Amino acid sequence: MENIKSYLSKAVRQVISELYGSEAVPQSIDWQLTRKEFEGDLTLVVFPYTRYSKKSPEATGAEIGEKLLSEVISDFNVVKGFLNLKIADTQLLQDFNSLFSADSLVEKLEQPVGVMVEYSSPNTNKPLHLGHVRNCLLGWAVGNIQQAVGNRVTRVQIINDRGIHICKSMLAWQRFGNGETPESTGMKGDHLVGKYYVIFDQAYRKEIAELKDQGLSEEQAKDEAPLMVAAREMLKQWENGDAEVFQLWEMMNEWVYAGFNETYQRMGVSFDKNYYESDTYKLGKSLVDVGISKDIFQRDSDGSVWIDLTDIGLDRKLLLRRDGTSVYMTQDMGTAVQRFEDYDIDRLIYTVGNEQDYHFQVLFAILKKMGYQWADGLFHLSYGMVDLPSGKMKSREGNVVDADDLITAMELGAQEMTESLGKADGMEPTERTDLYRQIGLGALKYFILKVDPKKRMTFNPEESIDLQGNTGPFIQYTYARIQSLLRKAGEIKSLEISSEILHEERELIKQILRYSEVVHHAARENSPALIANYTFDLVKMYNGYYQNHSILRNDDASVTAWRLRLSSLVARIIRDALALLGIESPNKM
RNA sequence: GGUCCCGUAGCUCAGCUGGAUAGAGCAACUGACUUCUAAUCAGUAGGUCACAGGUUCGAAUCCUGUCGGGAUCACCA
């Protein structure tokens, strides 16, 4: 479709210039798809030209349309100020055929760039939850989409493996753990460590309550509770390289990593490189000196260092504490610089929730002020929180949806549904479990990815298991049915292909030809939702077609051959699009 | 209080850089399985695009304000 549009844009410029003179020629011409209720495929809005033509919109449209008739444009009509053009069947078929035999369904960028995508970025004191799931799925899909348009993609996570939160788990394990391990308990490592984080919190709160009874203020109690004092002490020991603490830290982190990796694997996401905060937390301090020497940062009389961003509508922000230690912002500055040194990249996408919008606004502003050329290539892929029907997820209230539990529940839901429909009756046991996995995850991923990332979303476990309507399994099902057709067709493929096309087939071809531009659009916007919505539309169209026109049972072999060809390209696009979303396409379901 | 994001059908969401009578799915109601997989399809019903102004040939979309929801503004991470 893109080639038709660019041909037409050129033609329209030419025509406008001929008719109304060169100053009437617009910079760019935006085409829109003709609405269903009108005849035509592409529509040019002619209102902008009436001031040059000095004629009515209808007359203007008609005289432009007249001159556009060609092998590409077979017909036109004008309704009010809208010039509707009909693309010639031969042109559509030609484009269809060239896409059919193309290596890639998506056109590659002429000038690809290097893109690093950061996602997940967990803390190591508790297991992954629903929020991480949205994060991972988004980051993974965005990476796929960037890759699809031809960019080089590096996927990374930064693991927050140090700090007071880890020490809390460590301390609780030391005090109350009785030497429990993932092996001895059979628990996943991340869940085991998370358990001790909860234990710490409970014991800590008890201490706070006791201290408050003794007359201390809330703040004092929180600060002076023996457990908190001990945790802070442990953090200090860790920073001083205390062997015993370090060993405990390493051991428990290893448990967590094993657990995370299992979850990542089930989700189907992976990373090219892990950054660890324990390696990077000291980065950025040297940048502070540079900034001071350039007079971008200021040192206060107490020794703390600040940047003043009030000139661009932001605040004054701390970069170095009075005692010379760095803050999150400083680390992130250092890490960004490091990444552009480590890799040949032009862009860096941070997949992080929208509660950190301000943080990234400031981070990017600072790096820009410091004069880094690449600062314009930084992008915060900000996404909204995931709520439950009962409201907000709060770890305090224990209504956090655990990622592992969620995946299991989705697989079970898929299994129940599949069994009750008898869809897997003839399958081998391993084939079945694989199918349940594919469907369950397909439902989960699609449910989350179909929503615009920046929107806050409600996750309803029951609805997400739904397999009807705008869902992953609905799309997978269409793919499976086409595969079944292609299997059955086997030998009856005729070399002769009918060239008559039905209205529904025209509509399908047009949708198919849009795929590449949709992927490019999704890449520009970093929005997998665009691909999800496109695919749903394609599938809806195809299902209507499938239901109303017999593909195999047909008197004319050449018609069957054409319909199979059309179906198989639809299937390839479904599979390609779902793969971009990280969703598998089962051959049977 | 400052800044940012969101507000579209009962529910969950589309609506591209402004374009024609605002679209899907779910739920509700009608129909279609001796026929390529009915996890499907065809149809009915459902709207003051939060509200009020403004910009213009034309606004759900852009601007301003109001209301509602959320986030953020720590020498926490």
pLDDT at A336: 94
Strand B: which bases are under 7 Å from protein Cβ?
A: 2-7, 11-17, 19-21, 24-27, 35-42, 57-58, 69-77
Q: Of all nucleotides in the shown strands, which has a C1' nearest the CA of A532?
A: B14
User: Is residue A443 assigned to a domain?
Assistant: no
3-state SS, residue A466: coil
pLDDT at A352: 93
Å: A453 CA to B12 C1': 15
Q: Of all nucleotides in the shown strands, which has a C1' nearest the CA of A384?
A: B5
CB A89 within 8 A of CB A74: yes
- What global pTM score does this model have? 0.94
* The domain boundary residue, chosen from A56, A87, A118: A87
Å: A502 CA to B45 C1': 31
Q: Of all nucleotides in the shown strands, which has a C1' nearest the CA of A33?
A: B16
Measured over the CA atoms of residue A527, residue A466, residue A127 and residue A202, the dihedral's sign is positive
DSSP 3-state percent helix, strand, coil across chain A (nearest 5): 60, 10, 30
Q: Of all nucleotides in the shown strands, which has a C1' nearest the CA of A479?
A: B37
**Maximum distance among all Cα pairs of chain A, rounded to whole angstroms:** 92
Q: Of all nucleotides in the shown strands, which has a C1' nearest the CA of A81?
A: B20
CB A187 within 8 A of CB A402: no
pLDDT at A492: 61
Residues 6+ apart with CB under 8 A from A475: A442, A446, A535, A536, A539, A574, A578, A583
User: Is residue A39 assigned to a domain?
Assistant: yes
The count of domains in chain A is 2
Order the strands of the A42-45 sheet from edge to edge: A32-33, A42-45, A82-87, A73-79
Å: A359 CA to B66 C1': 29
Of A129, A130, A138, nearest to A459 (Cα)?
Answer: A130
Q: Of all nucleotides in the shown strands, which has a C1' nearest the CA of A552?
A: B36
Å: A344 CA to B52 C1': 52
CB A319 within 8 A of CB A287: no
pLDDT at A396: 61
pLDDT at A156: 96
Q: What span, in angstroms and rounded, lies between the C-alpha atoms of A134 and A141? A: 11
Domain that holds residue A209: 163-270
* The domain boundary residue, chosen from A227, A250, A270: A270
User: Is residue A428 assigned to a domain?
Assistant: no
Assess whether A82 and A171 both reside in one domain. Answer: no
Residue A54 backbone dihedrals phi, psi, to 5 degrees:
55, 35
Bridge partner residues of A77 (DSSP): A84
- Residue listed under structure tokens 């085991």: A192
CB A294 within 8 A of CB A370: yes
Of A158, A122, A123, A153, nearest to A140 (Cα)?
Answer: A153
User: Is residue A277 assigned to a domain?
Assistant: no
Q: What span, in angstroms and rounded, lies between the C-alpha atoms of A519 and A580? A: 9
Beta strands in A4-72 (DSSP E): 32-33, 42-45
What tokens appear for A193 in the block? 């460590």
Bridge partner residues of A405 (DSSP): none
Angle at CA of residue A32, ends A26 and A531, nearest 5°: 125
Average pLDDT across each block of 10 residues of chain A; the chain has 589 residues. List them in order.
85 88 79 87 89 86 92 90 92 93 94 95 91 94 96 95 93 93 96 94 91 86 91 92 94 96 97 93 88 89 88 85 88 94 95 91 91 91 83 68 92 92 89 94 94 86 80 95 91 68 91 94 93 96 94 85 93 97 96
User: Is residue A126 assigned to a domain?
Assistant: no
Secondary structure tally for chain A: helices H, strands E: 22, 14
Residue A89 backbone dihedrals phi, psi, to 5 degrees:
-55, -40
CB A469 within 8 A of CB A450: no
Q: Which residue is nearest to nucleotide B19 (CA to C1')?
A: A45
Q: Which residue is nearest to nucleotide B36 (CA to C1')?
A: A552
pLDDT at A489: 85
Q: What span, in angstroms and rounded, lies between the C-alpha atoms of A129 and A403? A: 5
* The domain boundary residue, chosen from A226, A255, A270: A270
pLDDT at A411: 94
Q: What span, in angstroms and rounded, lies between the C-alpha atoms of A2 and A4? A: 5
Assess whether A167 and A262 both reside in one domain. Answer: yes
Q: What span, in angstroms and rounded, lies between the C-alpha atoms of A16 and A73? A: 17
What CATH number did the domain enclosing A32 receive? 3.30.1360.70
Q: Which residue is nearest to nucleotide B26 (CA to C1')?
A: A469
Q: Which residue is nearest to nucleotide B12 (CA to C1')?
A: A458
Å: A468 CA to B45 C1': 21
Q: What span, in angstroms and rounded, lies between the C-alpha atoms of A45 and A536? A: 28
pLDDT at A217: 84
Å: A85 CA to B18 C1': 21
Residue A338 backbone dihedrals phi, psi, to 5 degrees:
-60, -40
3-state SS, residue A497: coil
Å: A495 CA to B33 C1': 33
Å: A457 CA to B4 C1': 18
CB A138 within 8 A of CB A120: no
User: Is residue A213 assigned to a domain?
Assistant: yes
3-state SS, residue A353: strand
Assess whether A175 and A259 both reside in one domain. Answer: yes
CB A204 within 8 A of CB A223: no
Q: What span, in angstroms and rounded, lies between the C-alpha atoms of A69 and A532? A: 35
Q: Which residue is nearest to nucleotide B75 (CA to C1')?
A: A321
Å: A485 CA to B31 C1': 27
Rounded to a whole number, what is the distance in angstroms from the first to the last CA of chain A?
Answer: 32
User: Is residue A413 assigned to a domain?
Assistant: no
Å: A108 CA to B6 C1': 34
User: Is residue A174 assigned to a domain?
Assistant: yes
